[in-house]
Structure 1
Amino acid sequence: MVPHFPPDDHTTPNIKSTAVAVDKDKNSPHAVRWAIDHLVISNPVIILIHVRHKLSTPNQSAGEAESGDSHDTKDLFVPYRAYCARKGIQLKEVVLEDNDAPKALLDHIQKNCISSIVVGASTRNALARKFKAYDIPGSLIKSAPNFCSVYVISKGKILSARTALRPLANTATPPKQLSSVGLPPTPDHTSEENGARHARTSWRNGGQERMAMERNNDVTRATTRERARSSPTNMSVENIELPNRGSRTSFSRNSVSDEHHDYAGPMMFGSIDISGQNLDFSIATHSPRESSLARQSARELEAEMKRLRLELKQTMEMYSSACKEAISAKNKARELHQWKLEEARKFEEARLAEEAALAMAELEKAKCKAAIEAAEAAQKLAEMEAQRRKEAEMKAKQEAEEKNRALSALTHNDIRYRKYTIEEIEAATEKFSGSMKIGEGGYGPVYKGRLDHTPVAIKVLRPDAAQGRKQFQQEVEVLSCIRHPNMVLLLGACSEYGCLVYEYLDNGSLEDRLFRRGNSPPIPWRKRFKIAAEIATALLFLHQAKPEPLVHRDLKPANILLDRNYVSKISDVGLARLVPPSVANSVTQYHMTSTAGTFCYIDPEYQQTGKLTTKSDIYSLGIMLLQIITAKPPMGLAHHVQRAIERERFAELLDSTVTDWPVEEALLFAKLSLKCAELRKKDRPDLATVVVPELNRLRELGRNSETHNNYGYNNNGGHIESHFGWASHIRI
């Protein structure tokens, strides 16, 4: 074992010592902090022990190994030195070199009588990797001496511990008795020597009072023997009875000099006063002359004792002053050492801060250079983007102007529909009389009238409608270009006042008939399957329009009109959008700046993202198909139908006004509707290949099962007139 810093020679087993086994693992700092906070209290000294692995190859010299590990060992203790300096703790560093780390630690504990050892918990990346076959915490807990407490620390907390089984015994050399043979040196030399011996003893173990008593006893014996030797009465030293002030005998010089104690307390001195004692000397003769000589000798002895006591007092004062100066010097040295450590730490921090500042400056310089380059590139891109945007704006402006010119020309010169004057419209509606009003929509009021001897429905633009003019132009453009038996027919328009003239449909909207407004009769299930197939067919026609597909965006029962034979027609295409053919499917999406539609029918994905496709109409179709067979409001309808199917109670949701539902076919119809109402576009079926064929199959099933009691005929076979009371609720 090679100690990096030799242990203090003044450490005594009686003073509790604390050691911490440290390495490069993460738990060693926690162990040091815990030991300082909980163990280092009365004795502000801590010993850090590091076990360095021995040479692995015999050819490598010790010098090479020491030079290779010295830097690592130095770096290992650096943070602990600064921490102990801040805490005011004296640090001792010990480096042991051994291949068996637990054995080296146990030997050091036994030899140096360590009372407490703290070690960090083993980790795979530190002690356990360096000493692969050893579990140091476990070995210490199992094999440490019974006077040593072992603490295993992990992350600042005690992981396991084993306290000492017995206190540390005092192993100092026992005191020796003064020899009664031979005389001590002269009083002067004896006092000086005893003073020096007392100084060493007091400095080592703090036994001031005991050494003072020993010194007085030695002086008394020495003086008595000297007087007895020179006295004619030949006094015997062995017969002198000295007072015993203490219960313990004084230590011999060898016993004191062998002890190794630091100064641990204030100086306490004592002396022996024998002036009042009865010194009984055995005298061989009792003649008056001899008695006189004895009394004279006693007086001289007393005077000598007073002189020796005075010298002893002066020596003690000098020694006390020297001790105080030594303590002051030691404190100053300790303060100087701490100041030196603090200055070294500050210097190291300043050096590291300077290096970090230089590195940061280099990094900032590189970042600045990169930022300048990025700014230049961004400026170039911005210039290019500004140029492209300017060109795009100019192109869009030109296209808008061309479109406005085309719409204006279409409004004034389009021959695809008839143009009515406002006077004709007023005459047909009796100047927009309230009795002729048959409905109200978001676009404006709807009036029933007669133009060219034909019943018509006239939709008038409301003056405060924000998007009314745009919807008017959109609806004119769409309906004047397309013809389909299931699309409402535009007969004409008055562009100056925003009036649209449609064919009049007797049975009003699908919504009014499903909810039986005006006490209208229920629609049979065969008619409902037929209406669903017709709506899907007309919607497919819009999606396959040329040159660009049309998305309706507001498909709902209120915008499905029924004629007297319950033939359905899609109306209100003012919100329809032309989308490029490349974005008509669900793969590529057409982004809209603002969504349009009716709550509960609008596509959720289109509402959130503004991305419009033909699949957006499929969601609205699915909700409307569920209403056709249930006649219930659209709010949460898909969820209710799904739960009813899962609980096998679907028949309870069917419209109760129809008593002859084919439940199996209605269930297939409902499942197809739920697929259309999926939240994600990619999960909805294709209209042309899935939805329309299935609805046509159900329509044919209704046709085949239809009897002679067709809806719309009375018992006599005559057709019921179409002037129902519910026709007044039509909305276009």
Structure 2
Amino acid sequence: MKTSVNILEESDRRGCLVIISWFWLLWLAYDPICSKANLSTIVGNNRSPFGTGRYGHSVRSFADLMSETDISFVSSSRPSTDRMSSTTYDFMDSGLAPRLSTGSATSFASIHSGPKSIGPNSQQGFSSVSHDSGGTSFSGSTHSLDGMESEMRRLKLELKQTMEMYSEACREALSAKQKASELNRWRIEEERRLEEARFSEEAALSIIEQERARCREAIEAAEAAKRRAEIEAQRRFNIEKALKEAAQTKKSKGNLSYNDIRYRRYAIEEIEEATQYFSESKKIGEGGYGPVYKCYLDHTPVAVKVLRPDAAQGRSQFQREVEVLSLIRHPNMVLLIGACPEYGILVYEHLAKGSLEDCLFKRGNTPALCWQIRFRIAAEIATGLLFLHQTKPEPLVHRDLKPGNILLDNNYTSKIGDVGLARLVPATAENVTQYYMTSAAGTFCYIDPEYQKTGMLGVKSDVYSLGIMLLQIITARPPMGLTHIVEQAIENGAFKEVLDPDVPDWPVEEALSYAKLALQCAELRRKDRPDLGTEVLSKLNELRDFAEEKMNYLYFAGSFGPSANHSQASITPPLSQTSMTPTNLSQASINKVKLPESQPRKSS
């Protein structure tokens, strides 16, 4: 915009100077003041008005003329330009003809008597005039004036064209100036709109940030309210649970006090006489809470378990074992014959083959168990354990399930013993049985990791112990790191190498299915372990049926006989049917549901 104004002002100045220059020439030529005397003086002196700046008494300099000329129209809206142009044209139209006619009618000879001539240097539109001594040539003067008039007309035409061009330039400059002003106003308006848009955007962002802050506060308040509600719900649940446990405990104590006469009471003198005062020669093992002695009471071989006086929880655990076992009758549970409650002594039936641990690790030169018997023992253990878990009104959790607490009779029928660690656990929603224990009870490597970490006891705590024991049954290996060893063997395709080498004819496919089931039972997370009744026991029953079919085929085919690879235990006829009596009321023991192939054990 500044460039346009500068160009406009420069064009105004140039146009003004051109107009003034032409105007001065016209004034010089036709001003009435320029009389014949003055003209002769100018011609005689041969001076140029541009050289001296003045002539005669009435001639003004160009600077004076410029100073007196109004050029204020240059920066205005051009009202004076048209006036000046019209004035100039009027002056030229009105004044030029009379002057020319006056000049043409007058002879230059009357001005001076003497002969004078205009020199060749004076060439501003005048022709040279020669004066003779006798007069002036009138024809030369007329020719000079005609040339001057034609020159004036040409100059007038050029001046008119110049003024028209100047006026057009002024109008274009004015239009450009107006457009520049409009553009400037548009730019200012756009800047204002942009500023308003920026302010609006900032306000919107501020509102959004405030809404986000309020949303976060609302979410935090909702989470806090949810936590308070959960705490309150948990508190009420604990109160209701405690009240229910108290009522059930009271009811259980009443029932136990009514049934505590179900077992035989022995006097301490009878037991001392039978054990020869607890002689070391009668000692056959060490239980979880004291030594075990073999003796005869009422002409029946029995196992006497004596509770150690230094056991921290011995007396209460002993009372619980007596109360529980006196009510239990199951072919896969060790039978409690009697007790001496005053001295903390339990009397069990004696099982000739000892513990499963002794048979697996061949202690005392015991023969190795064939795979058919191992599959049957696994199914029997699961059957007895499910019986404990389905006890009414409260389920029983063994908490110390291991091969050392599994006893075998002459027919290698397995029975679960040492139920002294069992707890009465109230059932909760969704068939999940849990109870909070202040200290973990059981044997290392067989204890449920979640129970050991949190103290929350459940029926699936026994499932973990069962999984470790099932792996020991087919591998005859210690429990430490056994799950990892079996997993690696399965992944590397070397599963057959981890099986007990004392059994040469393992059915690898069935053993692999058995091992995968055991690994599922030994999952670290309780929720990943299968259900004992619907999944574990049904699969083990299928494997037991498969083993009995193989054993019956070999038995009736007469292929049994002494060999280096078959011990007495491996040729014993299958007597599992005789071990199942009508007292086995566990529905899971006869529910044989087809299970899908076991999945690999998940790591936690």
Which band: TM-score by shorter chain?
A: 0.5 to 0.7
Q: 1:513 is matched with which residue?
A: 359
Q: Which amino acid in structure 1 is aligned with residue 260 of structure 2?
A: D
User: In 2, Cα distance between the equivalents of 1:528 and 1:584?
Assistant: 33
Q: Which amino acid in structure 1 is aligned with residue 494 of structure 2?
A: R
Q: 2:399 is matched with which residue?
A: 553
Q: 2:374 is matched with which residue?
A: 528
Q: 2:444 is matched with which residue?
A: 599
Task: Report the structure number with the largest CA radius of gyration.
Answer: 2
Residue aligned with 1:446, SS: strand
Residue aligned with 1:574, SS: helix
Deviations 1:601-629 (Å, cap 9, x if unpaired)?
Answer: 11112222222222111111111011001
Q: Does the 8 Å CA contact 2:367/2:569 hold for their aligned counterparts?
A: no
Q: How many residues align?
A: 365
Q: Does the 8 Å CA contact 1:585/1:614 hold for their aligned counterparts?
A: no
Residue aligned with 1:439, SS: strand
Measure how far apart 1:532 and its partner are.
Answer: 0.6
Q: Which amino acid in structure 1 is aligned with residue 485 of structure 2?
A: H
User: In 1, Cα distance between the equivalents of 2:528 and 2:536?
Assistant: 13
Q: Does the 8 Å CA contact 1:533/1:692 hold for their aligned counterparts?
A: yes
Measure how far apart 1:595 and its partner are.
Answer: 2.3
Q: Does the 8 Å CA contact 2:402/2:466 hold for their aligned counterparts?
A: yes
Q: 2:295 is matched with which residue?
A: 449
Q: 1:669 is matched with which residue?
A: 514
Q: Which amino acid in structure 1 is aligned with residue 265 of structure 2?
A: K
Q: Does the 8 Å CA contact 2:288/2:418 hold for their aligned counterparts?
A: no
Give matches, 1:50-65, under 5 Å. none
RMSD: 4.4
Q: Choose which of 434, 437, 459 in structure 2 pairs with 1:614.
A: 459
User: In 2, Cα distance between the equivalents of 1:666 and 1:385?
Assistant: 45
Measure how far apart 1:538 and its partner are.
Answer: 0.9
Q: Does the 8 Å CA contact 2:368/2:570 hold for their aligned counterparts?
A: no
Q: Which amino acid in structure 2 is aligned with residue 551 of structure 1?
A: V
Q: Does the 8 Å CA contact 2:449/2:524 hold for their aligned counterparts?
A: yes
Q: Does the 8 Å CA contact 2:370/2:503 hold for their aligned counterparts?
A: yes
Q: Could you say if the C-alpha distance between residues 713 and 387 of structure 1 is closer, same or farther in structure 2, counting changes exceeding 3 Å? A: closer
1:468 aligns with 2:314: yes
Q: Does the 8 Å CA contact 2:373/2:570 hold for their aligned counterparts?
A: no
Residue aligned with 1:621, SS: helix
Identity of aligned residues (%): 63
Q: Could you say if the C-alpha distance between residues 437 and 615 of structure 1 is closer, same or farther in structure 2, counting changes exceeding 3 Å? A: same
User: In 2, Cα distance between the equivalents of 1:495 and 1:636?
Assistant: 40
Q: Give 5+ residue unaligned stretches, structure 2.
A: 2-180, 203-223, 562-566, 576-604
User: In 2, Cα distance between the equivalents of 1:699 and 1:417?
Assistant: 34
Measure how far apart 1:581 and its partner are.
Answer: 3.1
Q: Could you say if the C-alpha distance between residues 688 and 453 of structure 1 is closer, same or farther in structure 2, counting changes exceeding 3 Å? A: same
Give matches, 1:249-264, under 5 Å. none
> TM-score scaled by structure 1?
0.44
Q: Give 5+ residue unaligned stretches, structure 1.
A: 2-54, 73-124, 127-373, 720-732
1:432 aligns with 2:278: yes
Q: 1:636 is matched with which residue?
A: 481
Q: Which amino acid in structure 1 is aligned with residue 508 of structure 2?
A: V
Q: Which amino acid in structure 1 is aligned with residue 484 of structure 2?
A: H
Q: 1:575 is matched with which residue?
A: 421
Q: Could you say if the C-alpha distance between residues 545 and 391 of structure 1 is closer, same or farther in structure 2, counting changes exceeding 3 Å? A: closer
Which has more helix, going by share of residues? Answer: 2
Q: Does the 8 Å CA contact 1:591/1:612 hold for their aligned counterparts?
A: yes
Q: Which amino acid in structure 2 is aligned with residue 701 of structure 1?
A: F
Q: Does the 8 Å CA contact 1:533/1:696 hold for their aligned counterparts?
A: yes
Moved more, 471-480 or 504-513: 471-480
1:540 aligns with 2:386: yes
Q: 1:292 is matched with which residue?
A: none
Deviations 1:663-695 (Å, cap 9, x if unpaired)?
Answer: 222111111111111112222222222211221
Q: Could you say if the C-alpha distance between residues 483 and 670 of structure 1 is closer, same or farther in structure 2, counting changes exceeding 3 Å? A: same
Q: Does the 8 Å CA contact 1:585/1:615 hold for their aligned counterparts?
A: no
Q: 2:524 is matched with which residue?
A: 679
Deviations 1:308-362 (Å, cap 9, x if unpaired)?
Answer: xxxxxxxxxxxxxxxxxxxxxxxxxxxxxxxxxxxxxxxxxxxxxxxxxxxxxxx
Q: Choose which of 530, 539, 543 in structure 2 pairs with 1:698.
A: 543
Q: Does the 8 Å CA contact 1:583/1:590 hold for their aligned counterparts?
A: no
User: In 2, Cα distance between the equivalents of 1:557 and 1:614?
Assistant: 18
Q: 1:658 is matched with which residue?
A: 503
Q: Could you say if the C-alpha distance between residues 488 and 652 of structure 1 is closer, same or farther in structure 2, counting changes exceeding 3 Å? A: same
> TM-score scaled by structure 2?
0.53
Give matches, 1:319-338, under 5 Å. none
Deviations 1:361-414 (Å, cap 9, x if unpaired)?
Answer: xxxxxxxxxxxxx9xxx9xx99x999999999899888877766766x46xx72
Deviations 1:251-291 (Å, cap 9, x if unpaired)?
Answer: xxxxxxxxxxxxxxxxxxxxxxxxxxxxxxxxxxxxxxxxx
User: In 2, Cα distance between the equivalents of 1:715 and 1:64?
Assistant: 105
Q: Could you say if the C-alpha distance between residues 583 and 445 of structure 1 is closer, same or farther in structure 2, counting changes exceeding 3 Å? A: farther
Q: 2:166 is matched with which residue?
A: none
Q: Does the 8 Å CA contact 1:549/1:584 hold for their aligned counterparts?
A: no
